A = this chain, B = another copy of it.
């Protein structure tokens, strides 16, 4: 991590200097009349967005939550590798790695053909394949994930804190207003002021207010879909059992009592069990059955037979019906009006898509929504991009949600399918292996658009798929010979990264740097503002094929050792070499063309925008022209 650029300051480098400090609204102060952004809901989607915005004190943000304080026990707990990669950009991936349970192995149990009332293990699969990500698949109480975001917000220059006991009850867009067009009505939910209403105007409103989202309803959205007519129970327990895979993820199919998905949880003792209960009639609601925790425990005991299962403490439980639903659009602009106006109201997370929890995707996709939206909102509010950029949010994330709902639809049926004695490998294991990259969150691939280029030069970096996430790999930083992950240079915010991979002859890199630094058409010049460092908007990082002892930092082009900050200090962290020691050469593992090299252009949300030849100056300029607005029109 880089700090002390503008002078030494003592203390924790994760705590920024405060830029301004707004009092928490539920205290003595009232609401402001106007804000740039109002976020409804302190779930993973809302907090992920607030954490991004909080780094920009120029943007005024309010995040409201009807509950009276932060969550203590969460329902979601699965964190896939893609979310862990995203956590890295916020700086708390290591903390989550330490505190969470890692899912390393998944096992499969079916009835014993000789004694069908007993289960036995029939398969085991490494949960995340080698090389899929530098991050593990982990589980952690959602409340702790919230805490991580709240820490980022608290330590940010904005010192952003949620306003609790405050609920969005209405959202209206005033299309005639010149600015702050969204009128938001809020209601107090604390006992003293319950029902008291307040109004404010916002530039943008984001509904992260769950499946019953008021924001969604206000913009005419509706969750459409179907249900599996199947009751499930879920519980977090401290229990004693002789089931040997209690600390692995386990799919357990019984002969007559349904199925269990067992997940170990953080801390070494806690476990979560999803337990299949009864099928429901078409018109029946799960609440009609009057089921409770004892039903879940009883059923779990029967399914786990012949193993003991003695519950000592129930931490949390719920009974629910599996459903898969999706709104038609994640913003307030109907398809036919996209050409004439830009969105002002958005929905994210459960507010626009719901699915069954057992694929472990809910929290991940919700955070993925607002990680997609965050940099776009920041870019627009900082005057760096035109508001039309915001259309891409619904376009990109609706497709991702649709793929998830479809997958989940199939997956829920696989999990509930009766065991198939004929097959040597249970169906659920087969489907689990097939879906590995999907459940890891790695199949999201954004379609071609002004932000995602075409595939002409895809062959120059076969391991980097245009539209998919930038897959990190080990490298050595030239200036200090530090072994590290290349992808970890990306931080949450609005900055794009150009990874320039050098051919054996580095002339193309020198030429590219010369163009980027000096050509009047260079996007580093056309979009740069007074006061910007050279890398404020676009960060250029070079990767060389040589070992770090074979290159001279001092002869790198100035763009790769730029001067920054009030002292004009040198940034030493722009140049990398292949790690030639451990069979980890990034040119090999990511299939980079060694003769031609290439540019891999990565968006602030870690998705690959384009792959280009090192001399594709015009294409590069055109790409950024689609994302940013030049300074003279700003």
List residues of A whose CB falls within 8 A of some B CB. 1-5, 7-8, 10-13, 72-73, 91, 94-95, 97-99, 101-102, 104-105, 124, 126, 141, 143-144, 147, 236, 238-242, 244, 246-248, 264, 266-270, 312-313, 315, 479-483, 548-549, 552-554, 563, 567-573
Contact of A105 among B242, B267, B480 (CB under 8 A): B480
Asked if B240 and A12 sit within 8 Å, CB to CB, the answer is: no
Q: Which residues of B contact A102 (CB under 8 A)?
A: 480, 482
Q: Which residues of B contact A266 (CB under 8 A)?
A: 3-4, 13
Q: List 26 A-B contacts (CB under 8 A).
A: A2-B267, A3-B266, A3-B267, A4-B238, A4-B269, A4-B270, A8-B270, A10-B72, A12-B144, A13-B266, A91-B98, A94-B97, A94-B98, A101-B480, A104-B480, A104-B482, A105-B481, A126-B481, A240-B563, A240-B569, A240-B570, A244-B554, A248-B480, A248-B481, A264-B480, A269-B570
Q: Which residues of B contact A248 (CB under 8 A)?
A: 479-481
Q: Give me the 3 closest cross-chain CB pairs, A-B, nearest first.
A: A10-B72, A247-B480, A312-B567
Docked complex Cα distance between A99 and B11 (Å)? 11
Asked if B482 and A238 sit within 8 Å, CB to CB, the answer is: no
Asked if B238 and A569 sit within 8 Å, CB to CB, the answer is: yes
Look across to chain B and name the residue whose beta carbon is closest to the beta carbon of A568: B240
Look across to chain B and name the residue whose beta carbon is closest to the beta carbon of A101: B480
With most chain B CB atoms within 10 A of its CB, the pick from A97, A124, A240, A570 is: A570
> Can you name 18 extra interface pairs (CB under 8 A) apart from A13-B99, A242-B554, A248-B479?
A1-B98, A4-B238, A4-B269, A8-B236, A8-B238, A12-B144, A12-B147, A13-B267, A94-B95, A94-B97, A238-B567, A240-B568, A240-B569, A244-B554, A246-B572, A247-B479, A248-B481, A268-B573
Asked if A8 and B480 sit within 8 Å, CB to CB, the answer is: no
Q: Which residues of B contact A268 (CB under 8 A)?
A: 1-5, 571-573
Docked complex Cα distance between A246 and B554 (Å)? 10
Docked complex Cα distance between A13 and B5 (Å)? 33
CB distance from A491 to the nearest CB of B (A): 13
Docked complex Cα distance between A72 and B247 (Å)? 44
Contact of A269 among B553, B554, B569 (CB under 8 A): B569
CB distance from A70 to the nearest CB of B (A): 9
Q: Which residues of B contact A312 (CB under 8 A)?
A: 567-569
Q: Which residues of B contact A101 (CB under 8 A)?
A: 480
Docked complex Cα distance between A2 and B98 (Å)? 10
Look across to chain B and name the residue whose beta carbon is closest to the beta carbon of A92: B98
Asked if A269 and B143 sit within 8 Å, CB to CB, the answer is: no
Instruction: Indicate whether A73 sits within 8 Å of B568 (C-beta atoms), given known contacts A1-B99, A101-B480, A481-B105.
Output: no
Docked complex Cα distance between A246 and B552 (Å)? 12
Asked if A267 and B481 sit within 8 Å, CB to CB, the answer is: no
Q: Which residues of B contact A549 (CB under 8 A)?
A: 124
Look across to chain B and name the residue whose beta carbon is closest to the beta carbon of A237: B8
CB distance from A554 to the nearest CB of B (A): 4
Docked complex Cα distance between A4 and B241 (Å)? 17
CB distance from A550 to the nearest CB of B (A): 12
CB distance from A186 to the nearest CB of B (A): 27
Look across to chain B and name the residue whose beta carbon is closest to the beta carbon of A8: B315
Look across to chain B and name the residue whose beta carbon is closest to the beta carbon of A3: B267
Q: Which residues of B contact A270 (CB under 8 A)?
A: 4, 8
Docked complex Cα distance between A11 and B143 (Å)? 8
Asked if A11 and B563 sit within 8 Å, CB to CB, the answer is: no
CB distance from A426 to the nearest CB of B (A): 18
Q: Which residues of B contact A4 (CB under 8 A)?
A: 238, 266-270
Docked complex Cα distance between A337 and B553 (Å)? 61
